Chain A
Amino acid sequence: MSDDLTRLSAAELAGKIHSREVSAVEAAQAHLDRITAVDGDVHAFLHVGTEAALASATLVDESLDAGTAPASALAGVPLALKDVLTTTDMPTTVGSRILEGWRPPYDATVTSKLRAAGITILGKTNMDEFAMGSSTEYSAYGPTRNPWDLGRIPGGSGGGSAAALAAFEAPLAIGTDTGGSIRQPAAMTGTVGVKPTYGGVSRYGLVACASSLDQAGPCARTVLDAALLHEVIGGHDPMDSTSIDAPVPAVVEAARLGAKGDLSGVRVGVVRELTGEGYQAGVGENFDAALRELEKLGAEVVEVSAPHFQYGLAAYYLILPSEVSSNLARFDAMRYGLRIDKGASAEEVMAATREAGFGPEVKRRIILGTYALSSGYYDAYYGQAQKVRTLISRDFAAAFEQADVLVSPTAPTTAFPIGDKVDDPLAMYLNDLATIPTNLAGTAAMSVPSGVAAEDGLPTGLQIMAPALGEAVMYRVGAAYEAARDAADGSPFAARTPEVKA
């Protein structure tokens, strides 16, 4: 029984809970049991909140038993929350020593919305420290392992959330995406990950990496589940000035429409600069196969050009570290978090704490950003990078004149072995080549599984990009492609995930 519940999609599980076939507590317990069974190997979670989860599920059951309508379409469904969003009932560490054991006094807006929707928060998931990394190896608490192959990385920074889905430890998860941290792990683990339009989901309570790039979003094993979660967490928040004051796009409706399998009239743009050289063979093959699938569904596939995307990675690695250097200045041992009482002055304590509390990638980016913002360098680095950002936005605008959505492979390779790139930052950064432009432009994108690579049997992802607030068409295309792929495979993609074995 337990195993069955963990294999269901969120929508299916919600249906059973709301019809009282299964209780929310049973659903929570099944997933907690699964975590106990496999998380020693996977290490998707930094904290499992068993009591809080069961208490929350009990409230949902009581409410449903009393005949009250479910608080949301996902009431009672368990979820894994990335450890970058604040929670009053669980620690929030951001994968860093500097916040080890920190218990925030407030809930992030996303956390509050999940609670209000009756979703059961199982625990907090592992991540690269402060969301900086593409493999989850930069977590101060040890790497997460890919359920497809425990010797490999699950992507990052949101490797914990993606691995929890692929290991059937949760049917839903929340990630955050600054340069690809939702989409790249989704591709690496064969799951669905969505980076909403910048401002579409509140950042209040999201511990900042880079403020102008960070965006929380839904992670799931199906496009419909992601859409259901998207509608729960999206929407305007007066506590976040950069939050968009507009209705959440009707993504559930769009996903249901897409699943009917008709994409006639939809123009799909292949971004020339994001295809061709530099991709692993199986990644390229699966991308081409996906394009053929989309055409079969009636979509018109066109080629578009985005000439400035080639500068995206460089611009990103100036803007992101600049914001990081300022955002992470507050970790100074004065009010919360780690404190190394070494030295006679506040400055010495700050320096000793930051030396001990931050890992190598975080320090690297703080130093890069401090340099890029320095007097005399600002115009050449930060200033130029902002201009590139504008040019990339214009590239998107021009491309969306020709196509309703743009597509590319999500990541250049499948999951690589743990330890492979951890000492080669540039190689690590190249993972996000295709995902970064979307963050720079503030537009929306998702990654949907596009099969497994012939050469290594590991999953690949199809990235679908949409204009700002254009999520509906993106979900429609994603759901249509997913349905066609499942039909061809004869089963949902998740069913192909191998059993976790050490």
Chain B
Amino acid sequence: MTAPTLVDFDDVVDRYDPVLGLEVHVELSTNTKMFCGCPTAFGAEPNTQVCPTCLGLPGALPVVNRTAVESAIRIGLALNCDIAPWGRFARKNYFYPDMPKNFQTSQYDEPIAVNGHLDVTLEDGTVVRVEIERAHMEEDTGKSLHVGGATGRIHGAEYSLLDYNRAGVPLIEIVTKMIPDTGGRAPEVARAYVTALRDLIRSLGVSDVRMDQGSMRCDVNLSLSPKGSGILGTRSETKNVNSLRSVERAVRYEMSRHAGVLDAGEKVVQETRHFQEDTATTRSGRIKETSEDYRYFPEPDLVPIAPSAEWVEELRGTLPELPWERRARIQQEWNLSDAELRDLVNADALDLVAATVDAGAPSGDARSWWVSYLSQQANTRGVTLDALPITPAQLARVIELVTTGELNNKLARQVVDGVLEGEGEPDEVVAKRGLAVVSDDGALIAAVDEALAAQPDVAEKIRGGKVAAAGAIVGAVMKATKGQADAKRVRELIIERCGA
């Protein structure tokens, strides 16, 4: 297979209009599965969270998880959707070893939520309204592990292992309508939408929405239309897009690839593609010789879902403060400019700062830590900010130690480093590393005297009333005490000793 011809992104945008569509799967964090009572905890021993129903044993039957329906309705309401007063599940029939019944119980033409929207704020403050086509309930499949062979893929594997723990975990699939007119901002819009959706669902408390653990998964649909023509192109569907950054990169790559195909006078193949994290490219999935026919029909083992208007309104009443409402409140409470708020949001730090403030820290200090020092640390480690091994409560304690003068800023960074290295709670790190500020005047006076003696010319200037020169002596004392001195007290002692 020859490498695709890629067209420069700016060139693509000059000549084509991208049309985006996003399908996001969210694994609900219900205690039990969609249609049985098995637990849903992530990471359990394979095939320990299974029963006759989710293993698809002969004779076993599904029963709908009411909490999952509630979560679906709450997601629908938060996305400004209409909630269907009546709807059935359907069976999507296809054979695959990790699907126990060889059909997936899903909603097909009768989704629980339709016709909503989500307003998405871009980095520069532009607001884009993304129209939501539908949100529907379905069950997850099991997982296949292909053993042997070079790629970990099924082709070339010696054998495969199946884990059905995930089989039957409730999923909500949220599908946008086509998102037109985003031009060169299509990659950014895609990322901002998925981010906003993630924040929204997190605020509802119905899912972990962890893309790295697969509890949130995104499929990117993209097509190009010749600029201004309004003629829709053929779309590709890119799966395996497992981070916010990848969403952006997948859109960007597909735009360049589609343009290359179209420029060559060829047709874009309607196909499923897989995003390759390492190269930021997409690769064609299995070419299907025939188009898949899922033979959908209403699931006869379940009764229709018919949420009453009263129940829907009751659930509307349980919606928490939604992300945009919360941002407005926080901006006011912390007295932030629009740009400061955006920086926080763009750094993905809002929740972390808020949690740190909740743990007792002043918002300014909390912001500064997360946006600067900790963001650098996350970058260095190549992880997202929320994946750093420090909790908002731990950071709040460090900030408290600085406020009370037990640490200075330099020491505080060392304490944070210790926590990040897994050395324990901030107070333990202080004790183990011996990082407490030296405020014992006796030891400090000795160090000050020594520093003054080493730099007699500077000492003379201070004695002569040039107090500003004390800085050099402070620096020397701090160096001698390995930064553990309280700089303010050192300065006082220098002036005192020089009688200035």
Chain A residues engaging chain B, CB cutoff 8 angstroms: 85-86, 92, 94, 99, 102, 104-106, 108, 203-208, 210-212, 238-242, 322-323, 325-326, 329-332, 334-336, 346-347, 350, 370, 373-375, 378, 382
A331 to B303, CA, bound (A): 24
Known pairs A242-B303, A330-B101; list 13 more (Cβ under 8 Å). A85-B59, A108-B59, A204-B59, A207-B58, A238-B63, A242-B300, A325-B93, A326-B93, A329-B103, A332-B102, A335-B55, A347-B95, A370-B295
Is the beta-carbon distance between A86 and B58 smaller than 8 angstroms?
yes
| A322 and B61 contacting across the interface, CB-CB below 8 Å | no
Contacts of B293 in A (CB 8 A): 374-375
Please give the distance in Å from B298's CB to the nearest CB on chain A.
9
Check B297 against A382 for contact (C-beta < 8 Å). Answer: yes
Number of interface residues of B (CB under 8 A): 29
Q: Kindly state the separation between the CA atoms of A350 and B99 in the bound complex, as whole angstroms.
A: 13
CA distance A326 to B56 in the complex (A): 12
Cβ of B60 under 8 Å from chain A: yes
Q: Which of B63, B91, B103 contacts A241 (CB 8 A)?
A: B63
Top 7 A-B residue pairs of the complex, sorted by shortest distance between their CB atoms: A329-B102, A373-B295, A211-B300, A212-B300, A207-B58, A205-B59, A207-B59
Q: Which residues of A contact B297 (CB under 8 A)?
A: 322-323, 326, 373, 378, 382
Complex contact A205–B60 (CB within 8 A):
yes
Among residues 11 to 62 in chain B, which have CB atoms less than 8 Å away from a CB atom of chain A? 52, 55-62
Q: Are A94 and B56 in contact (CB under 8 A)?
A: no
Chain A's closest residue to B303 (CB) is A241
Contacts of B59 in A (CB 8 A): 85-86, 92, 104, 108, 203-208
A336/B300 in contact, CB under 8 A: no
Give the contacting residue for B64; candidates A105, A203, A241, A373; CB below 8 A: A241
User: Which residue of chain A has its CB nearest to the CB of B89?
Assistant: A241
- Please state if A334 and B97 are interface contacts (CB–CB under 8 Å): yes
* B100 is an interface residue with CB less than 8 A from chain A: yes
Q: Say whether A241 contacts B102, CB under 8 Å.
A: no
Q: Which residues of A contact B58 (CB under 8 A)?
A: 86, 92, 94, 99, 102, 104, 207-208, 330-331, 336
Asked if A336 and B63 make an inter-chain contact with CB atoms under 8 angstroms apart, the answer reads no
CA distance A99 to B58 in the complex (A): 9
- Nearest Cβ in chain B — how far from A419, in angstroms? 30
Residue numbers in A under 8 Å from B56 (CB-CB): 330, 335
Task: Determine if B128 is an interface residue (Cβ-Cβ < 8 Å).
Answer: no
| Pairwise interchain contact B295-A374, C-beta atoms closer than 8 A | yes
Q: A203-B61, A204-B60, A207-B59 are in contact. Are A375 and B295 (CB under 8 A)?
A: yes
Per the 8 Å Cβ criterion, residues 257-301 of B in contact with A are 293, 295-297, 300-301
Q: Within the assembled complex, what's the spacing in Å between the Cα atoms of A101 and B265?
A: 60
Find residues 291-330 in chain B having any chain A CB closer than 8 Å to their own CB: 293, 295-297, 300-303
- Which of chain A's residues have a CB closer than 8 A to the CB of B300? 210-212, 242, 323
Contact pattern, B 64-105, Cβ under 8 Å of A = 1, otherwise 0:
100000000000000000000000000101010100111100
Q: How far is the CA of A191 from the CA of B184 in the complex (A)?
A: 78
Chain A, Cβ-Cβ closest to B299: A211
Assembled-state Cα–Cα distance A238/B53 (Å): 13
Kindly state the separation between the CA atoms of A370 and B301 in the bound complex, as whole angstroms.
Answer: 18
A104-B58, A239-B61, A326-B295 in contact; A373/B93 too (CB < 8 A)?
yes
Contacts of A99 in B (CB 8 A): 58
- List, sorted by A's number, 15 A–B pairs whose CB atoms are closer than 8 Å: A102-B58, A105-B52, A108-B59, A208-B58, A211-B301, A241-B62, A323-B297, A325-B93, A326-B297, A329-B93, A329-B103, A330-B56, A335-B57, A347-B95, A373-B93
A501 to B72, CA, bound (A): 64
Chain A residues with CB under 8 A of B61: 203-204, 239-241
CB distance from B242 to the nearest CB of A (A): 25
Q: Is the CB of B100 within 8 A of A330?
A: yes
Contact A334 B63 (CB under 8 A): no
Chain A positions within 8 Å of B101 at CB level: 329-330
Question: How far is A480 from B249 in the complex, measured between Cα atoms in Å?
Answer: 78
Residues of B in contact with A (beta carbons under 8 Å apart):
52, 55-64, 91, 93, 95, 97, 100-103, 160, 162, 293, 295-297, 300-303
Complexed CA–CA distance, A344 and B441 (Å): 80
User: Quick check: A241 and B302 within 8 Å, CB to CB?
Assistant: yes
Q: Which residue of A lies closest to B92 (CB)?
A: A326
Given the known inter-chain contacts A330-B101, A375-B295, please indicate yes or no for A106 contacting B302, CB distance below 8 A.
no
CB neighbours (8 Å) of B52 from chain A are 104-106
Complex Cα–Cα for A92 and B52 (A): 14
> Which of the listed residues A104, A335, A378 has the most CB atoms from chain B within 10 Å of its own CB?
A335
A106 touches B57 (CB 8 A): yes
Q: Is the interface of B mostly helix, strand, loop or mixed?
A: loop
Which of B59, B102, B162, B303 is most buried by chain A, counting CB atoms within 10 A of its CB?
A: B59
Residues of B within 8 A of A332 (CB): 95, 97, 102
A239:B57 contact, CB within 8 angstroms: no
Residues of B within 8 A of A212 (CB): 300
What separation, in Å, do the CA atoms of A262 and B302 have in the docked complex? 41
The CA of A127 and the CA of B500, in the complex, are separated in Å by 109
| A326:B91 contact, CB within 8 angstroms | yes
Shortest CB–CB separation between residue A372 and chain B, in angstroms? 9
Considering the complex, give the chain B residue whose CB is closest to the CB of A350: B95
| Shortest distance from the beta carbon of B294 to any chain A beta carbon, whole Å | 8
Residue ID in chain B nearest A92 by CB atoms: B58
Chain B residues, CB < 8 A from A335: 55-57, 100
- In the assembled complex, which residues on chain B have CB atoms less than 8 Å from the CB atom of A86? 58-59
Pick from A92, A105, A212, A326 the residue with the most CB of B within 10 Å.
A326
Residues of chain A within 8 A (CB-CB) of B160 are: 346
Q: Check B63 against A239 for contact (C-beta < 8 Å).
A: yes
A298: min CB distance to chain B, Å: 40
Q: How long is the Cα–Cα vector from A378 to B95 in the complex, in angstroms?
A: 20
B312 to chain A, nearest CB (A): 21
A350: which B residues are within 8 A, CB to CB?
95
Q: In the complex, A370 Cα to B95 Cα: how many Å?
A: 13
A211 to B89, CA, bound (A): 14
A241 to B64, CA, bound (A): 8
> Which chain B residues border A329 with CB–CB below 8 Å?
93, 95, 101-103
Whole-angstrom CA separation of A330 from B57 in the bound complex: 8
Chain B residues within 8 Å of A210, by CB: 300
Q: Which residue in B57, B93, B102, B302 is a CB contact (below 8 Å) of A104?
A: B57
A242 to B62 Cα, complex, angstroms: 10
Q: How far is the CA of A211 from the CA of B62 in the complex (A)?
A: 12
Contacts of B303 in A (CB 8 A): 241-242
Q: How far is the CA of A239 from the CA of B53 in the complex (A)?
A: 10
Q: How far is the CA of A336 from the CA of B57 in the complex (A)?
A: 8
- Does A242 contact B301, Cβ atoms closer than 8 Å? yes
Question: Closest Cβ of chain A: how far from B34's Cβ, in Å?
Answer: 12
Once the chains are docked, how many angstroms separate the CA of A346 from the CA of B64? 30
Q: Which residue of A lies closest to B55 (CB)?
A: A335
Give the chain A neighbours of B63 by CB distance below 8 A.
Answer: 238-241
Assembly CA distance A323 to B90 (angstroms): 12
Q: What separation, in Å, do the CA atoms of A150 and B103 have in the docked complex?
A: 42
Q: How far is A329 from B91 in the complex, measured between Cα atoms in Å?
A: 12
Minimum distance in angstroms from B148 CB to a CB of chain A: 13
Question: What is the minimal beta-carbon distance from A239 to any residue of chain B, in angstroms?
Answer: 6
Q: How far is the CA of A374 from the CA of B292 in the complex (A)?
A: 10
Which residues from chain A contact B102 at a C-beta distance below 8 Å?
329-330, 332
Q: Which residues of A contact B95 (CB under 8 A)?
A: 329, 332, 347, 350
A330 partner residues in chain B, CB cutoff 8 A: 56, 58, 100-102
Q: Which of B60, B293, B295, B303 has the most CB of A within 10 A?
A: B295
Q: Looking at the assembled complex, report how far the CB atom of A74 sits from the nearest CB atom of chain B, in whole angstroms.
A: 23
Chain B residues with CB under 8 A of A106: 52, 57, 60
Q: Which residue of A lies closest to B102 (CB)?
A: A329
**Measured between alpha carbons, how far is A375 from B94 in the docked complex, in Å?**
14
With a cutoff of 8 Å between Cβ atoms, the chain A residues found around residue B64 in the complex are 241
Instruction: Tell me whether A334 and B295 are in contact in the complex, defined as CB-CB below 8 angstroms, given that A205-B59, A347-B95 are known contacts.
Output: no
A334–B100 Cα gap in the complex (Å)? 8
- Nearest chain B CB to A155 CB, angstrom units: 23
Query: How far does the alpha carbon of A382 sit from the alpha carbon of B296 in the complex, in Å?
Result: 11
Q: How far is the CA of A376 from the CA of B260 in the complex (A)?
A: 35
